Each structure stands twice: as C-alpha cells, then as structure tokens.
C-alpha cells in the first residue's frame, strides 16, 4: 500500500484530518518525568495509545529526539506505532535537503532505519535533492512550500522573474510538485495554517496533492479557515497539532487530556469539512 493510499484510508477510518505531532521536550514532560529525556519514549507512546483512533497520521519531529541522544527511542516509538496503530501512517519531520550520496543516506535514514511512511523535505537545492526519496516505492515526501513562520516571506513570497507568469516561489514549488517532480505519485506539500489565503492558492495549483498543514493550535492558525481553504476529500489535508495535544496537561492525566484535546480538534476540523459538502 502506498503512503497516499494509507493516508486516505486512515482519514476515512478515523474520520479525521488530525495529525498529532510528536515533539517531546524533556522540560515539559509530566510529573516525575520532567527533565528526564530517558522517558521520551514513555511519554510519546502514551500519547499514541491515547489517540490512535482519532488521527490520520503521527508526525515525530526528529530534532526533539536527536538533541537528547534519543534516536534509539525514536526507532522504538515508530515500532510501537506499528503495533498500536498499524494502519496510521508515520511522517518523519526531518526537513532534509541535500544532494547526491548524502541525500541517499538521508533517505535511507528515514525509510530504512526509522521505517517512516513519509518524510518532510526542503526543495531549495532542486529536484536532485528530492529524487533519492522517490526511489523508495510507495513512500511519501512533503516539500516545504509556504511555511507557517513569518520569515518564510524572505524567500517563499518572492516573485520569480525567470519563470513564465512570474509566480511566487511557493507557487512555483506547488506547480513542480503537482507536475514533473511527482515521479512516484507520492509527493505532498507543507503549507502553514497561518496563511489560509496561500493554502487556497496552493490548492488551486496542486489540486491532487495532500497538504501537510502545521500551525493549528499553539501557533494560532485558524482551523476552520484552514480546512475551507485546503480540503478536497479524505486524506487531502493533514492538519498537525503538536504542543496543544502533547501538553494539554502537566499532570498524571496527561494522556487523557491529550485525547480530549485531540477529540476537540478533530471535531472542529470535521465541522469545517461538513460545511464544504
């Protein structure tokens, strides 16, 4: 089964557009685990177990593991997801972007070492920085397109005078991903929830691609506007919430609180999709 198929089926099965981002900060772990990175796996596994039936994907952020020497815990976490939620895809948020043999090794890291179903990539070194990931049959890749941070304007919102029609850079990336770059049919785009008008523009240029949309929740993105701008059927939008779910409670009830927040967010997103129908 390809990543796109897996994503769509998970979205239908769990009636969900919600992706829970797994960004474990040891300083924010609950109770006796606070400040103890050796409990990253325990924390994330509890979040996974509490939300498996509410999500269309899980998205571990590799920096939160690597910064604490917890890559082994990341491997075990993804193995745990495979057992607890075998039909839910795992998107490794790594934002890799390099060429040649280095890109080949990063692709192996994502898909062989960690066993992810998809990975986030920076496209700014061109297609040869993306191509090694597309050699893995059925694996997905989300290209950074219009990111949620204000500094994204520095490059992404600039016009390309050398391209016909002078599109903005993020529009050009969307067109490439929809067209000639999508050699394995498994590309998607990262578009921030803080820019709903840009989400709509990307959707027009890339009608068939899944959009991974961070920025809902702690970053202040408008969930309703996000869905209305990007939704095009099950699996078309993957709306990530990390901190709002992970840290819904700092107490012993953290997993139950995470579930309650995930349920609330899923329902909010679905209500927006219902108004589209």
Active site residues per annotation: 95
Q: How far is CA 61 from CA 65, 71, 92, 269, in A?
A: 7, 11, 6, 23
CB neighbours (10 Å) of residue 233? Answer: 11
For β-strands 237-241 and 140-146, DSSP reports them as unpaired
* Rounded distance between C-alpha atoms, residue 243 and residue 232, angstroms: 26
Task: Give the separation between CA 240 and CA 226, rounded to whole angstroms.
Answer: 11
CA 50/CA 7 separation, integer angstroms: 19
User: What is the spatial distance between Cα 184 and Cα 204, in angstroms, rounded to a whole number?
Assistant: 21
* Sequence-ordered list of residues with C-beta below 8 angstroms from that of 157, at least 6 positions apart, any chain: 168, 169, 170
Tokens of 212: 């991974």
- Listed residue (148, 105, 118, 135) closest to 58, CA to CA: 118
Q: What angle do CA 137, 69, 87 make, to 5 degrees?
A: 35
Contact 214, 21 (CB under 8 A): yes
| Residue-wise burial string across 140-154, b where 16 or more C-beta atoms lie within 10 A, e elsewhere | bbbbbbbbbeeebee
Six-digit token pair at 142? 């989300």
> Considering Cα of 30, then 35, then 37, then 38, what sign does the dihedral take?
negative
């Amino acid at each position: 089964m390809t990543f796109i198929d897996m994503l769509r089926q998970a979205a239908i099965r769990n009636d969900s557009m919600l992706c829970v981002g797994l960004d474990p900060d040891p300083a924010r772990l609950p109770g006796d685990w606070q400040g103890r990175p050796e409990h990253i796996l325990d924390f994330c596994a509890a979040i996974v177990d509490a939300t498996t039936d509410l999500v269309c994907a899980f998205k571990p952020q590799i920096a939160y593991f690597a910064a604490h020497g917890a890559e082994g815990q990341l491997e075990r976490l993804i193995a745990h997801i495979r057992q607890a939620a075998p039909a839910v895809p795992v998107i490794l948020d790594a934002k890799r972007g390099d060429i040649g043999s280095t890109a080949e090794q990063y692709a192996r890291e994502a898909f062989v070492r960690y066993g992810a179903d998809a990975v986030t990539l920076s496209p700014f070194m061109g297609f040869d920085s993306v191509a090694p990931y597309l050699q893995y049959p059925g694996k997905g890749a989300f290209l950074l397109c219009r990111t949620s941070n204000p500094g994204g304007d520095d490059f992404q919102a600039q016009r390309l005078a050398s391209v016909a029609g002078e599109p903005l850079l993020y529009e050009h990336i969307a067109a490439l991903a929809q067209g000639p770059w999508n050699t394995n049919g498994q590309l998607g785009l990262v578009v921030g929830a803080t820019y709903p008008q840009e989400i709509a523009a990307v959707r027009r240029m890339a009608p068939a691609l899944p959009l991974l949309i961070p920025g809902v929740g702690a970053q202040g993105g408008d969930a309703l506007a996000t869905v209305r701008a990007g939704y095009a059927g099950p699996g078309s939008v993957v709306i990530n919430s990390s901190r709002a779910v992970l840290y819904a409670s700092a107490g012993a009830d953290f997993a139950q609180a995470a579930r309650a927040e995930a349920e609330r967010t899923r329902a909010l997103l679905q209500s927006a999709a219902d108004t589209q129908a």
